[in-house]
A and B are shown apart, each in its own frame.
Chain A
Amino acid sequence: MNLRGAQAIYLYEMARTGRTLLQSVLSPVISTSLYFVVFGGAIGSRIVEIDGVSYGAFIVPGLLMLMLLMQSISNAAFGIYFPKFVGTIFEVLSAPISPFEIVLGYVGAAATKSIILGLIILATAWMFVDVRIEHPFMMITFLVLTAVTFSLFGFIIGIWADSFEKLQIVPLLIVTPLVFLGGSFYTIDMLPPFWQTVSLFNPVVYLISGMRWSFYENADVSLWVSLSMTLVFLALCLTAVWWIFRSGYRLKP
């Protein structure tokens, strides 16, 4: 194992994050605060409690997931796309380092950054609303699993993308709608029956539901279904990454 190689990538990526601290930390914190002001304060005050939880507190797990998903994808996608774009990827490909170690470095760094951000967002939420976490262990499990899974997903997008446009297209056109329609700001049973059924095809529903359960013990779908769906998505991403390195897709002609 070339763990030093994986560590070198990890630390290099973390240093990159460190250089753009203001942009990478401040912007999610500001946007989360805006959500709390608008949804929690302005609109939320007119909404009755949902399952015994005030609306402001209710949206915390969904918002956390929203940020976690978006940040994991964009961090990891950019992390691998940029060396591909400028050509410095040659160094990684010519190093005595296995695909697993490469992924460990890039995805590990992206996931770490998202987890730190998730915790900062949670702390921000605490300043606005009264958040309680019934199952901290489960909450951390979902936090880590989601960060890793969607960093892997971002890594795949970063390898697939051959332009900055493509790099943006999946997060903007697919992930954002899925997250907004995945119950970040409402429970699925608030929807008409038809859209409830449609929602069950949205993988993000399961993630948000699981996260919300770990906070307030109420969920759209059972905890175990949530957990299983997250693991299924993780397995899918791992398979895709395995195939990418095996075939050299977009990496090696």
Chain B
Amino acid sequence: MHPIISIRDLSKTYESGFQALKSVNLDIYKGEIFALLGPNGAGKTTLISIICGLVNPSTGTVTAGGHDIMRDYRAAREQIGLVPQEITTDAFESVWANVNYSRGLFGKPKNHDFVEKVLRDLSLWDKKDSKIMTLSGGMKRRLLIAKALAHEPDILFLDEPTAGVDVELRHDMWRLIRGLAETGVTIILTTHYIVEAEQMAERVGVINHGEIILVEGKAELMRKLGKKQLTLELHAELTAVPDGLADFDLELAGEGRKLVYTYDTQKERTGITRLLAELNAQQIRFRDLSTSESSLEEIFVSLVKRDA
């Protein structure tokens, strides 16, 4: 499958000498939701800004839909819509004029039916004649999405779409993004909320210190790097992990009433059988047991730590 966005050896050093990106290579495929996950200052916004034409790259190439973003910038940019991180809108214009302006800017002929549909889909139709300054924060964010969609892009960049947004609004935003993806738009979102990547993305790229540390299908990532924990609820309290169990990665929790065993799902032997046999031999009885997988958050923290 041909990538819709192809990034090769992309680096960026700002005038201050700060190297925001170090030789980034990344392919993004048509129709997917890709999450670029990284802590603040990792280089996410720089990467997006270069692709969208807001920042000049130092070295490397990017193609969007097969068009080089520098040499063939018109064809490349026609396909791209950008929703920036900051809410940056005019104040005195009406919603309708502002969204139509965005469409015109991208060279598209007037199409009131299409703009109406975009505004309806984003629940902004009622507000079409309102001045932008009268909109709530959530509406302004939706307006930015409407503006980015006004020229019918194939690729949509969402830079931290839910930063500083309350829980309810965040869920609305996720629903909205999924709906967009269903229409065939390729979506690249940056986030430092792991739960967002976990909820939304099909593939996740982890970026830190300007380098892509890893790109993986979300399920694959969870499976590969995921650790599991077995929690045993004990009948009797323990004050310390018994000596005979020192070989196992065990922790006492719940004031000595829980024994937590962390194991690697990738290993051939998880050690569970041996642990249970050993517990039996030492006559440590338990009432209940449960297992849990590590979340993307834990995976992420371990990756970023490893990288540091």
Contacts and interface: CB of A to CB of B under 8 A. Distances in A.
Contacts of A9: 105
A4 B78 CA distance: 13
A96 B106 contact: yes
Nearest to A10: B104
Interface string B36-53: 000000000000000011
A88 B77 contact: no
A96 B75 contact: yes
A96 B107 contact: yes
B92 interface: yes
A192 to B, nearest CB: 49
A19 interface: yes
A93 B56 CA distance: 11
Contact of B84 (A4, A90, A92, A97): A90
B15 interface: yes
Contact of B54 (A4, A86, A90): A90
A35 to B, nearest CB: 31
A88 B90 contact: yes
A248 interface: yes
Q: Is the interface of A mostly helix, strand, loop or mixed?
A: helix
Interface in B40-95: 52-56, 73-78, 80, 82, 84, 86, 88-93
B90 A93 contact: no
A240 interface: no
Interface string B91-112: 1110001000111111111000
A87 B101 CA distance: 16
A94 B101 contact: no
Given A2-B107, A4-B104, A5-B107, A94 B90 contact: no
B77 A95 contact: yes
A15 interface: yes
A90 B88 contact: yes
A252 B104 contact: no
Given A5-B104, A248-B56, A15 B97 contact: yes
Contacts of B93: 12, 15
Interface in A62-99: 86-88, 90-98
Contacts of B109: 4
B252 to A, nearest CB: 52
Contacts of A11: 101, 104
A192 B299 CA distance: 82
B14 interface: yes
Interface string A228-249: 0000000000000000000010
Interface of B: 14-15, 52-56, 73-78, 80, 82, 84, 86, 88-93, 97, 101-109, 147
Nearest 7 Cβ contacts at the A-B interface: A8-B104, A87-B88, A96-B74, A2-B107, A96-B77, A94-B52, A95-B105
Given A12-B93, A96-B107, 5 more contacts: A8-B105, A96-B73, A97-B105, A98-B74, A253-B14
9 contacts: A8-B104, A9-B105, A15-B97, A90-B82, A93-B53, A96-B75, A98-B74, A253-B15, A253-B56
